[in-house]
Structure 1
Amino acid sequence: MTISPNSPDSLLRRAQALHLSGLAEHWGEAAGAPWVPALLQWEEDARAQRSLCRRIAQAKLGRFKALADFDWKWPRRIDRGAIEDLMQLRFVKEAVNVVLIGPNGVGKSTLAQNLAHQALVHGHTVLFKPAGDMLGELAALDSDSALRRRLRHYAAPDVLVIDEVGYLSYSNRHADLLFELISRRYEKRSTIVTTNKPFAQWSEVFPNAACVVSLVDRLVHHAEVVSIDANSYRLKEARERTETRAGKRRGPKSGGEAAS
């Protein structure tokens, strides 16, 4: 039997969960008051909004184009159904990873940011970090205790987005740190990775690193891998902006010019 959220017992539990101790202590007097359900709902909504704003700030997603504005016709190949299914967030509940592979400028980061934002809206913790920044920060730590604390920081979010793996080359130390982080999150939390390199070329990203095969194996064991084949959308937008500005500079021909 379903218990109504506005039954006296449910209302009391909601007041206690909100730590409204004064209301809970005087429950016998307030239980039947018509304003109690509205008061609790207002407080729950306000706290949920504050929590969302706090988690969005902590996630550091930056600005991004909404999925509704994504140009699905531009890529030569993309599994739109897979992306839309990922937006249902089952991958977060199942601790499945997501890897978005494709050349520069095709929207991998935008898709990752949309997935991350969807997770935030549904109450999950998220952190978005460029691979170069994260690995550089970890490698620069000069004490084991500081490194352990920072690894715990990156291992903690429900969803960790590691953006732009493959745009730089890294040392064996960086490879070991990424392997350690992926291992800490393995089968526990979801990691989203964007990369411009197919896995066969990751040995070029981490030259001579012994752990590359194990790193890829651990990352993709439980993963949805989406490949995107397209020319750079950023270059397309840049050309369109240039053409628009050039058109404005030329302007419409005057009547005299048209008649000459």
Structure 2
Amino acid sequence: MNQTVKELQSQFKQLRLVETAEELPRLLREAEQVSWTYLELLEAITHFELNKREEKSIERRMKWAKFPYHKTLMEFQVKEQNALSERQLTQLQELNWLEQQYNLILLGPPGVGKTHLSVGLGIEAIQKGFQVYFVTMGELLHLLKTQEFTHKSQVQIKRLQASDLVIIDDLMYMAMDQREANLFFQVINHLYERSSIILTSNKSPEEWGELMGDEGITTAILDRLLHRVEVVSMNGDSYRMKNRQNLF
């Protein structure tokens, strides 16, 4: 029972409690200073370890998500546009739609905050334990066309397929050929009723058929996307343009 602190630290590390091992001297000093009971000390140790594990889990999920930048919903200027009220933004933030596997389609011209809103919701989802994957439409098509012979693309597609929430940015920014449309359908079909999808686009679903070039594939994709969906139209002035900073 007369183990030294270093011996205890070594045993904690053997149990793969590395963070707690490093923190153990501080926890023991605090226990002595405030006269913790044995139970209080054990609670402090387990609480510290669980918090560290959750922090690392969030860090891993954030890295997995591949967001283009880190912008939270707190930074989203809801008063700068008319598409969402404070109450509606709060409802989205509660993520009931994600738990029920609903999709979100964010429509509007460049600069109105579609990507910011999607990233903010993705970060919120990660904080609440969900797996999230962000990809632009151009990047997604590249991954799909190279997955047969590129290990990196295979890994990314598997991560996408395993995610609870998939964010596809700039959908229909450019036209697809038939092969690309088929590959995109396979992704949507795989995610259907398994995951939620957030799509951002400057084209309404009625225009997607022209850009896919195949009415049958377009219909099949829309059937799956629109089965359980909330569409947010963010038409308005560019937030970036209204709030640009002068360089000189």
TM-score scaled by length of structure 1: 0.74
Match of 2:104 in 1: 98
Q: Does 1:38 align with 2:44?
A: yes
CA contact (8 A) 1:187 1:222 kept: no
Q: Which runs of 5+ in 2 are unaligned?
A: 1-14, 18-36
Shift of 1:66: 2.9
User: Superposition RMSD on alpha carbons, in Å?
Assistant: 2.6
Match of 1:174 in 2: 180
Distance change (3 Å), C-alpha of 1:39 and 1:149: closer
Q: Does 1:74 align with 2:77?
A: no
> Within 2, Cα distance between the matches of 1:120 and 1:70?
17
CA contact (8 A) 2:147 2:154 kept: no
Distance change (3 Å), C-alpha of 1:171 and 1:79: farther
Deviations 1:43-87 (A, max 9, x none): 101111111111111111132433223222332443553332111
Q: Does 1:196 align with 2:202?
A: yes
Distance change (3 Å), C-alpha of 1:127 and 1:44: same
Match of 1:184 among 186, 190, 212: 190
- Between 1:172-181 and 1:190-199, the stretch displaced more is 172-181
CA contact (8 A) 1:138 1:150 kept: no
> Within 1, Cα distance between the matches of 2:66 and 2:153?
21
Percent identity over the alignment? 30
Q: Helix, strand or coil for the counterpart of 2:78?
A: coil
- 1:66-215 aligned at under 5 Å gives the runs 66-142=72-148, 151-208=157-214, 210-215=216-221
Match of 1:60 in 2: 66
Q: Helix, strand or coil for the counterpart of 1:210?
A: helix
- Between 1:209-218 and 1:119-128, the stretch displaced more is 209-218
CA contact (8 A) 2:137 2:169 kept: yes
Higher-Rg member (1/2): 1
CA contact (8 A) 1:154 1:181 kept: no
Match of 1:236 among 228, 242, 247: 242
CA contact (8 A) 2:83 2:232 kept: no
Q: Which runs of 5+ in 1 are unaligned?
A: 1-17, 21-30, 247-260
Give the residue type in structure 2 aligned to 1:62: P
> Within 2, Cα distance between the matches of 1:154 and 1:160?
7
Match of 2:230 in 1: 224
TM-score scaled by length of structure 2: 0.77
Distance change (3 Å), C-alpha of 1:95 and 1:155: same
> Within 1, Cα distance between the matches of 2:233 and 2:90?
14
CA contact (8 A) 1:175 1:209 kept: no
> Within 2, Cα distance between the matches of 1:146 and 1:34?
47
Q: Does 1:49 align with 2:55?
A: yes
> Within 1, Cα distance between the matches of 2:208 and 2:85?
23
CA contact (8 A) 1:129 1:162 kept: yes
Give the residue type in structure 2 aligned to 1:103: P
> Within 2, Cα distance between the matches of 1:150 and 1:77?
33
Distance change (3 Å), C-alpha of 1:42 and 1:141: closer
CA contact (8 A) 2:134 2:167 kept: yes
